[in-house]
Structure 1
Amino acid sequence: MRTRKKKAPAPGRRSPSASRRKRIDSVDIARLVGVARSTVSKALNGYPYIAAGTRERILKAVRAYGYYPNYSAQVLAGKRTTTLGLFFFRAGNFADDVLADFMISSVIENAAALGYHTLAYVVRSPEDDATGRSLMGAFYQRRVAAGIFIGARNREPLIDQLVADGHAVGVFDQRPARRPEPNRAVVNYADVATSRAVIAYLASLGHREIGIIDGDRARYAGMMKHRGFLAGMRANGLPVNESWMRDGDFQSESGYQAMRSLLAANKRLPTAVAAANDNTAFGAMRAMEEFGLRIPEDISIVGVDGHPFCQYARPPLTTFEYDIQAMIRGLVSAVIGIVSGKADPQDLRQVYSARLVERQSCRKISAA
Structure 2
Amino acid sequence: MTATRSTPPPALAVVGATGAVGSVLLRMLSQRADVWGDIRLIASSRSAGRRLAVRAEEIEVLALTEDAFEGLGEGDVALFLTPAEVSARWAPVVTARGVAVVDQSAAFREDLEVPLVVPEVNGHAARTRPRGIVAGPDCVTVAMIAAVGALHAEYALTELAVSTYQAASAAGRAGSEALRRQLSLVAGTALGEQPGDVRRAVGEDTGPFAAPLALNVVPWSGELREDGWSSHELAVRAQTRRILDLAELPVAVTCVLVPVLAGHSLTVRARFEAEVDAGRAREVLEAAPGVVLVDDPAAGEFPTPSDAAGTDPAWVGRVRRSLDDPRSLEFFVCADNLHQGAALNAARTAELIADEFRYFTL
Higher normalized helix content (fraction of residues): 1
Whether TM exceeds 0.5 here: the answer is no
More strand by share: 2
Could you say which structure has the greater relative contact order, defined with CA pairs below 8 angstroms and 6 or more residues apart? Answer: 2
In which range does the TM-score fall when normalised by the shorter chain?
Answer: 0.3 to 0.5
The structure that has the greater radius of gyration is 1
TM-score norm. by structure 2 comes to 0.35
